[in-house]
């Protein structure tokens, strides 16, 4: 996808005004543990952002993209130092500026849109007051005109009824509206450069699209330069003119967005692209198809196994006693066929997590029936889960779902202890087997969960649930906290495990790209109702319901047709 404005932008960049941002051979390091010499985190990074241009910094966690953003904005933590190179923001050489030198530049030359809108506003002050503070920083607006300017700014960022909304407190606004308020604050003093640090990672896809459209509009209208930080390659491709790919603090590849992503040269970029579900939707197609065919031929022999392993029929749920409050689930139904992957899709508040927890026996429900492996689930659950050997839930955040005092061995062993495997030798043997299956090194056994990496933690969580040999796993966004490459490994592991143990997955995710890769069936939830259900290919390629279409349109997508698939084969 080419931005119509791209060529104009290139022209604008040639004008005699200083560029919003020039970074040249930048080195940043952090001092730690009392040592005088800072250890380099970012090395020799150069790029520039022109007027009306968006440049994306792309990379995984630990790649240094946030460090660069902070160095450019003068927001490095106390132990961070720029050790070399130059940073020029709208003509001001700011590398090595003290806080005092920075003060007159804040707001007027550079605005910052933070990652988490919920925690970035003062909860005790009305949003109007907080915007007014930013307006006054510029010092150009007379005191009497500040309120009018605040309303004007809110209207500018697309908040309806701005005149009354200025009196709202942050908790009265939605996540998307809060992000709009933060953008209003960032542009209040007329900056030349906007730094957006994953501005939409906490938002739903449809809201994400509207926020990004807003940023694009402001960029063109005000001639802003935008430095956009993201881990989402599809988003970077869709929204930026140039891309800088970072790995471990080094620039791996940089250039026009088209060139970098459609004809990647560096192996790291190629790997990122092949691991990202959005850019390689067909990655697992052969596997999924052969597994499905394998199943079909098997089922022709024995007709009994076609019965669903999990059946949800007309389940309703309301939180609290108030009968006026909206239903969290309103007559939702789904059927999980054996050995299939059934994806549950929806925005936050759609009830997908509630449904997952009901199936897992963690939340009670008001009406309907849930059957797991042929047995009906009680509406009110006993404290100890009687279905533990049939169905297990894999939590979104593995770190919080395990006892911080336990070692990995104790964590994996726990289900065996609970279910009365008394012999230590027997437990040891089964832990060793399962460890091998989830590809964890034996050396991890003695460590605690916080001492192993994010991907390994999710493997530990999987090992713990699989040691009881359940037939169904409910996976609640199991990869949402992981980098794409790690996510690809975990997804691969999940597919292996399914084939090996004949598992069925109820897979909750907001990542439609990932669902397109692996799901056999999809159920789309909106405000507690099932709006679409059916085979993944049909639901995602020819959505019937308007909501599904809206959801799909909002997802940043690669122009897959123009990608050369043979390029990825070398890596696979």
Q: Which of 468, 469, 481, 493 binds other proteins (CB under 8 A)?
A: 468
Hey, what are 303's tokens?
């007709």
By CB under 8 A, the count of residues binding other proteins is 26
Q: Mark residues 343-382: x for contact with other proteins by CB under 8 A, - for none.
A: -----------------xxx--------------------
Angle among Cα 536, 537, 539 to the nearest 5 degrees reads: 65
Handedness of CA 134, 140, 144, 145 (dihedral sign): negative
* Smaller CB separation from other proteins, 196 or 309: 309
* Smaller CB separation from other proteins, 28 or 359: 359
Rounded to an integer, what distance in angstroms lies between the CA atom of residue 180 and that of residue 214? 8
Rounded to an integer, what distance in angstroms lies between the CA atom of residue 400 and that of residue 117? 23
Q: Which of 211, 308, 393, 445 binds other proteins (CB under 8 A)?
A: 393
Element (H, E) at 553: helix 546-554
Q: Which of 177, 392, 487, 509 binds other proteins (CB under 8 A)?
A: 392
* Smaller CB separation from other proteins, 458 or 465: 465
Q: Which of 24, 250, 367, 414 binds other proteins (CB under 8 A)?
A: 414
Indicate whether 395 belongs to the interface with other proteins (CB under 8 A): yes
Q: Which of 376, 386, 446, 535 binds other proteins (CB under 8 A)?
A: 386
Hey, what are 43's tokens?
């090395």
Min separation Cβ 35 and other proteins, Å: 16
The alpha carbons of the chain give a radius of gyration, in whole angstroms, of 26
* Smaller CB separation from other proteins, 262 or 469: 469
* Smaller CB separation from other proteins, 220 or 414: 414
Beta strand residue intervals within 338-398, DSSP E? 341-345, 367-372, 375-376, 391-394
Indicate whether 5 belongs to the interface with other proteins (CB under 8 A): no
Min separation Cβ 457 and other proteins, Å: 12
Min separation Cβ 314 and other proteins, Å: 25
Min separation Cβ 505 and other proteins, Å: 17
Say which residue the tokens 């999980």 belong to. 336
Q: Which of 402, 460, 490, 563 binds other proteins (CB under 8 A)?
A: 402
Q: Which of 397, 480, 485, 527 binds other proteins (CB under 8 A)?
A: 397
Indicate whether 478 belongs to the interface with other proteins (CB under 8 A): no
Say which residue the tokens 């027997």 belong to. 426
* Smaller CB separation from other proteins, 404 or 572: 404
Residue 318 near residue 328 (C-beta atoms within 8 A): yes
Residue 204 near residue 174 (C-beta atoms within 8 A): no
Nearest to 151 by CA among 163, 141, 136: 163
Listing DSSP states for 261-284 in one string gives HHS--SHHHHHHHHHSTTT-TTTT
Indicate whether 17 belongs to the interface with other proteins (CB under 8 A): no
* Binding segment toward other proteins, per CB under 8 A, in 293-301, 304-312, 365-373, 391-399: 391-399
Which SS3 state, helix, strand or coil, does residue 40 take?
strand
Q: Which of 36, 37, 143, 405 binds other proteins (CB under 8 A)?
A: 405
Min separation Cβ 344 and other proteins, Å: 18
Region for residue 186 given its phi and psi (left: phi exceeds 0; alpha: psi -120 to 50; beta: otherwise): alpha
Indicate whether 404 belongs to the interface with other proteins (CB under 8 A): yes
Question: Looking at the DSSP assignment, which residues form a beta bridge with residue 89?
Answer: 21, 92
Rounded to an integer, what distance in angstroms lies between the CA atom of residue 530 and that of residue 516? 18
List residues binding other proteins (CB under 8 A): 360-362, 383-386, 388-389, 392-393, 395, 397, 400-405, 414-415, 418-419, 464-465, 468
């Amino acid at each position: 996808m080419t931005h119509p404005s791209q060529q104009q932008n290139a022209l604008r960049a040639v004008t005699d005004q200083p560029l919003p941002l020039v970074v040249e051979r930048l080195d940043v390091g952090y001092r730690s543990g009392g040592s005088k010499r800072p250890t380099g985190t970012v090395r020799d990074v150069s790029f520039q952002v022109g007027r009306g241009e968006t440049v994306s910094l792309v990379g995984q966690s630990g790649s240094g993209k946030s460090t660069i953003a902070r160095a450019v904005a003068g927001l490095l933590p106390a132990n961070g130092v720029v050790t070399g190179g130059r940073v020029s923001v709208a003509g001001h050489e700011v590398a090595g500026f003290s806080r005092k030198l920075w003060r007159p530049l804040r707001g007027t030359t550079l605005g910052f849109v933070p990652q988490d809108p919920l925690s970035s506003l003062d909860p005790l002050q009305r949003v109007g007051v907080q915007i007014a503070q930013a307006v006054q920083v510029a010092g150009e607006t007379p005191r009497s005109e500040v309120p009018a300017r605040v309303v004007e700014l809110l209207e500018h960022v697309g908040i309806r009824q701005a005149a009354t909304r200025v009196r709202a407190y942050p908790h009265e606004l939605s996540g998307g509206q809060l992000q709009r308020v933060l953008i209003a604050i960032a542009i209040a003093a007329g900056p030349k450069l906007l730094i957006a640090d994953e501005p939409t990672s906490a938002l739903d896809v449809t809201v994400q699209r509207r926020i990004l459209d807003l940023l694009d509009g402001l960029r063109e209208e005000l001639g802003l330069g935008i430095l956009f930080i993201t881990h989402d390659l599809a988003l970077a491709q869709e929204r930026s003119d140039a891309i800088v790919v970072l790995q471990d603090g080094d620039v791996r590849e940089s250039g026009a967005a088209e060139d970098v992503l459609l004809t990647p040269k560096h192996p790291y970029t190629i790997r990122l692209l092949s691991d990202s579900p959005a850019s390689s939707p067909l990655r697992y197609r052969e596997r999924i198809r052969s597994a499905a065919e394998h199943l079909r031929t098997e089922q022709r022999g024995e007709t009994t196994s076609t019965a669903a392993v999990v059946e949800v029929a007309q389940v309703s749920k309301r939180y609290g006693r108030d009968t006026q409050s909206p239903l969290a689930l309103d007559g939702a139904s789904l059927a999980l066929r054996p050995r299939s992957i059934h994806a549950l899709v929806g925005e936050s508040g759609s009830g997908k997590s509630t449904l997952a927890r009901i199936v897992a026996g963690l939340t009670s429900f008001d009406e309907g029936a849930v059957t797991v492996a042929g047995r009906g689930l009680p509406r009110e659950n006993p404290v100890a889960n009687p279905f533990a050997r049939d169905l297990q839930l894999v939590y979104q955040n593995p770190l919080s779902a395990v006892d911080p005092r336990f070692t990995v061995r104790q964590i994996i062993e726990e289900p065996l202890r609970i279910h009365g495997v008394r012999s230590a030798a027997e437990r040891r043997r089964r832990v060793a087997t399962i460890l091998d299956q989830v590809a964890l090194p034996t050396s991890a056994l003695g460590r605690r969960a916080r001492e192993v990496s994010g991907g390994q933690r999710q493997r530990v969580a999987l090992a713990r649930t699989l040691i009881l040999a359940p037939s169904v796993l409910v996976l609640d966004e199991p990869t949402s906290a992981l980098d794409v490459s790690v996510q690809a490994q975990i997804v691969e592991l999940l597919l292996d495990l399914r084939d090996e143990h004949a598992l069925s997955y109820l897979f909750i995710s907001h990542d439609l790209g990932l669902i397109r890769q692996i799901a056999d069936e999809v159920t789309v939830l909106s405000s507690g109702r099932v709006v679409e259900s059916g085979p993944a290919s049909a639901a995602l390629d020819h959505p019937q319901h308007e909501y599904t279409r809206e959801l799909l349109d909002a997802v940043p997508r690669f122009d897959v047709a123009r990608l050369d698939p043979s390029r990825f084969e070398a890596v696979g």
